[in-house]
């Protein structure tokens, strides 16, 4: 399969399109990677070209960009996302506890957090990772099954929400 640069849509060289390392963007060509690294391409524009809801976050889980699909999925404006911790952005019920996102007794077992950390530390993309997520709703916490994929870009990690479905208590 031939992959195109996530930004300029030109065919990627083999070294830029290694699918194990670029599961979300399928890679960015060398020219665009340089342009992105030196902020000549607005990150927001690049994310909006990608499929699915995508959050871009730094090593401590703080989200600094989100594409339009993520804003729509999360029903949030970009101002409600940028600079916030991942758990606050996705409205994790545990992020509202004392200590906040990343610092409660539940956080060390968080599959979403672990997946992002693995990608950040190793550079290896993760695909189709399933996790349970307790979401804050007006009627109280609601459990969801969430499927995510991650990819490291520079010193940041892209987190794509592949699927998010309510947990059905009586399903087998």
- In order, the DSSP letters of 102-131 are T-STTGGG-HHHHHHHHHHHH---EEEEEE
pLDDT in tens, 13-63: 765 444 445 555 556 777 777 776 666 667 888 888 888 999 999 988 999
pLDDT at residue 154 tops 70:
yes
Give the CATH number of domain 14-166: 3.30.450.20
> What is the pTM for the complete model shown?
0.79
Locus of tokens 């952005």: 89
Query: What number is the average pLDDT over the span 109-113?
Result: 94
pLDDT at residue 170 tops 70:
no
What integer pLDDT is reported at residue 43 of this predicted model?
81
- Tell me the percentage of the chain whose pLDDT exceeds 70: 83
Q: Which residues of 4-26 are buried (b: 16+ CB within 10 A; e: fewer)?
A: ebbbeeeebeeebbeeebbbbbb
Least confident range from 2-6, 79-83, 161-165: namely 2-6
């Amino acid at each position: 399969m031939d992959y195109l640069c996530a930004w300029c849509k030109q065919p990627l060289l083999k070294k830029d399109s290694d699918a194990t390392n670029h599961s979300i963007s399928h890679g960015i060509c060398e020219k665009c990677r340089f342009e992105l690294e030196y902020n000549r391409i607005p990150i927001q524009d690049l994310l909006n070209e990608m499929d699915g809801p995508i959050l871009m976050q730094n090593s401590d889980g703080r989200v600094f960009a989100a594409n339009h699909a993520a804003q729509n999925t999360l029903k949030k404006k970009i101002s409600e996302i940028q600079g916030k911790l991942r758990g606050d952005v996705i409205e994790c019920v545990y992020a509202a506890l004392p200590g906040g996102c990343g610092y409660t007794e539940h956080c060390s077992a968080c599959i979403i957090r672990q997946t992002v950390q693995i990608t950040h530390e190793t550079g290896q993309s993760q695909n189709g990772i399933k996790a349970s997520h307790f979401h804050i709703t007006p009627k109280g916490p609601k459990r969801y099954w969430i499927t995510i994929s991650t990819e490291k870009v520079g010193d940041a990690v892209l987190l794509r929400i592949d699927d998010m479905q309510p947990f059905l208590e009586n399903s087998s």
